[in-house]
């Protein structure tokens, strides 16, 4: 397949008014990635060399989303909405460059799979001139039917025009199509708008190609591949399908998930085999979890790396730049941001570690925090290997704690602590014996006096 050049025309000019959003429809996200970028990702996986992107409103943003996946993109603006064939022909200049294969897909079908596009290209390589991707919905009502005869696709019949026998056909048009490149424009130019809506329909290419004696076939793909997004309800439904696919892929690859339906992945989440994911975990973009790591329930990740056999949560939050080394531990109600936690280090509970390095085997006590922000700038806290930070300590950055140092509980540390030192940073305690009795008597009298007023 790699020896055949391919252009994919992505139709992304729809305004998406039913989304009720100022954002172009195809820029709404699934698993943290714009819908149109999901399409570009599938296309890229099918060995496509170039993309012709047909855009309308918000074209610059749509282009940026596609270019984040594929660099070779030519943008074509569709200024009028005169049907699907008209939209494809907006990319005439790109098609005319000459390709072996031309794929036509929609920018709002984020669940299209590379395997479906591969199959369409395979049929072109075998000699087909037109390949239509069809599916079998639970109910065919409302869909155009694919009419086949002796292995050939002879027509796409809209339901309102279909006979009773044709309406009983369960094989329906998915809208996605592949054309042999050397005759794509010739076929497209023969499409007319001689219909009630005065529009140019891409589906007409089937009967035109048949009339020219060309080979037209249909392939069957799963219904998920052709799900289009027009409303936020459909966006949520597509998200659910994507997550189900991802969970299955993860488990088949060796990841243990105790309650998979409660774990949510981003488009680029990497979890290695033998990692264990407990219930109710959310992964934002840019997260990798190494093998053997255990992620406990109700934890949230974004832009973070977790090393082999590390232990995280429950109720942990790892923000961008968090990096946990092998066998480290980040426990309940701990937040880590832009910080590296060394091999075997422990940050067990109720702690904030931000803009910091934590050395190997260090132990950070409950309630300890790095005070990294002065209201204007962020500063670094360096904690050495085997350091012990006592509970409820505040490390005011910039500050460095040397290897094997000990910070007494409740300390506020504002200056560097050398290696192997013990640091106290708290007020001296005084005890006044009997003073509590006096205080209680005084406060009781004050309370009675207020009531008497």
CA distances from 442 to 154, 431, 436, 449 (A): 99, 19, 10, 11
- Residues belonging to the binding site are 11-14, 25, 78, 83-84, 108, 144, 158, 173, 230, 319, 337, 352, 363, 366, 372-373, 391, 409, 426
Segments of the chain scoring below 50 in pLDDT: 1
Q: What is the pLDDT, as a whole number, of residue 426?
A: 87
pTM confidence score: 0.90
- Residues belonging to the binding site for Mg(2+) are 108, 230
Q: What is the pLDDT, as a whole number, of residue 56?
A: 87
The pairing of strands 300-301 and 317-318 is parallel
What domains are there in the chain, each with its CATH number? Answer: 6-226 (3.90.550.10), 251-423 (2.160.10.10)
Q: What is the pLDDT, as a whole number, of residue 314?
A: 98
Q: What is the pLDDT, as a whole number, of residue 2?
A: 57
Angle between helices 114-125 and 35-45 (to 10 degrees): 40
Q: Could you tell me which residues come within 8 angstroms of residue 189 by beta carbon, excluding any fewer than 6 positions away?
A: 89
**What would the pLDDT profile of 279-328 be if each residue is shown by its tens digit?**
999 999 999 999 999 999 999 999 999 999 999 999 999 999 999 999 99
- How many CB atoms are located within 10 Å of the residue 452 CB? 6
Q: Is 38 considered catalytic here?
A: no
Which is the catalytic residue, given 28, 38, 86, 349?
Answer: 349
- Closest to 316 (Cα-Cα) out of 271, 340, 273, 281: 281
Peptide bond into 398 cis (omega under 30): yes
Q: Is there a contact between 194 and 106 (Cβ–Cβ < 8 Å)? A: no
- Closest to 81 (Cα-Cα) out of 193, 156, 231: 193
- Name the strand (E) or helix (H) holding 236: helix 232-252
Q: For the stretch 155-185, what's the b/e string if a residue is b when 16 or more beta carbons lie within 10 angstroms of its beta carbon? A: bbbeeeebeeeeeebebbbbbbbbbbbeebb
The pairing of strands 152-157 and 145-149 is antiparallel
Q: Is there a contact between 154 and 216 (Cβ–Cβ < 8 Å)? A: yes
- Closest to 246 (Cα-Cα) out of 117, 138, 68, 110: 110
- Residues belonging to the binding site for UDP-N-acetyl-alpha-D-glucosamine are 11-14, 25, 78, 83-84, 144, 158, 173, 230, 319, 337, 352, 363
- Residues belonging to the binding site for acetyl-CoA are 366, 372-373, 391, 409, 426
The pairing of strands 172-180 and 130-135 is antiparallel
């Amino acid at each position: 397949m790699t020896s055949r050049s391919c252009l994919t025309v992505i139709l992304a000019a729809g305004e998406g008014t039913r989304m009720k959003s100022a954002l172009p429809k195809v820029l709404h996200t699934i698993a943290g990635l714009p819908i149109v970028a999901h399409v570009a990702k599938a296309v890229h996986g099918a060995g496509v060399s170039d993309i012709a992107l047909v855009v309308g409103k918000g074209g610059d943003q749509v282009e940026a989303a596609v270019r984040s996946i594929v660099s070779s993109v030519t943008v074509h603006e569709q200024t009028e909405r005169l049907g699907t064939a008209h939209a494809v022909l907006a990319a005439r200049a790109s098609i005319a460059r000459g390709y072996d294969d031309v794929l036509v897909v929609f920018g709002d079908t984020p669940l299209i799979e590379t395997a479906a596009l591969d199959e369409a290209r395979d049929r072109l390589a075998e000699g087909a001139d037109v390949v239509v991707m069809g599916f079998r919905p639970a109910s065919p009502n409302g869909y155009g039917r694919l009419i086949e005869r002796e292995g050939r696709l002879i027509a796409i019949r809209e339901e309102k025009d279909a006979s009773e026998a044709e309406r009983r056909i369960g094989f329906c048009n998915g809208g996605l199509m592949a054309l042999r490149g050397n005759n794509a424009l010739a076929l497209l130019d023969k499409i007319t708008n001689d219909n009630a809506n005065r529009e140019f329909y891409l589906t007409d290419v089937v009967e035109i190609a048949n009339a020219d004696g060309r080979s037209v076939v249909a392939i069957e793909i799963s219904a998920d591949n052709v799900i289009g997004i027009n409303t936020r309800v459909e966006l949520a439904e597509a998200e659910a399908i994507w997550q189900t696919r991802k969970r299955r892929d993860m488990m088949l690859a060796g990841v243990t998930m105790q309650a998979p339906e409660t774990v949510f992945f981003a488009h680029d989440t990497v979890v290695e085999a033998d990692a264990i994911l407990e219930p109710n975990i959310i992964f934002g973009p840019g997260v990798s979890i190494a093998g053997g790591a255990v992620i406990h329930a109700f934890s949230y990740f974004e832009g973070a790396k977790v090393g082999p056999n590390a232990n995280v949560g429950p109720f942990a939050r790892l923000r961008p730049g968090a990096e946990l080394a092998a066998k480290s531990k980040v426990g309940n109600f701990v937040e880590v941001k832009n910080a590296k936690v060394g091999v075997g280090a422990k940050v067990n509970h109720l702690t904030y570690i931000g803009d910091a390095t934590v050395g190997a085997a260090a132990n950070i006590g409950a309630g300890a925090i790095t005070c990294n922000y002065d209201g204007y700038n962020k500063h670094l806290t360096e904690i050495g290997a085997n350091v012990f930070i006592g509970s409820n300590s505040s490390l005011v950055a910039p500050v460095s704690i040397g290897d094997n140092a000990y910070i007494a509980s409740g300390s506020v540390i504002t200056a560097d602590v050398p290696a192997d030192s013990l640091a106290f940073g708290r007020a001296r305690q005084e005890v006044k014996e009997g003073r509590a009795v006096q205080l209680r008597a005084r406060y009781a009298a004050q309370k009675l006096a207020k009531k008497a007023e």
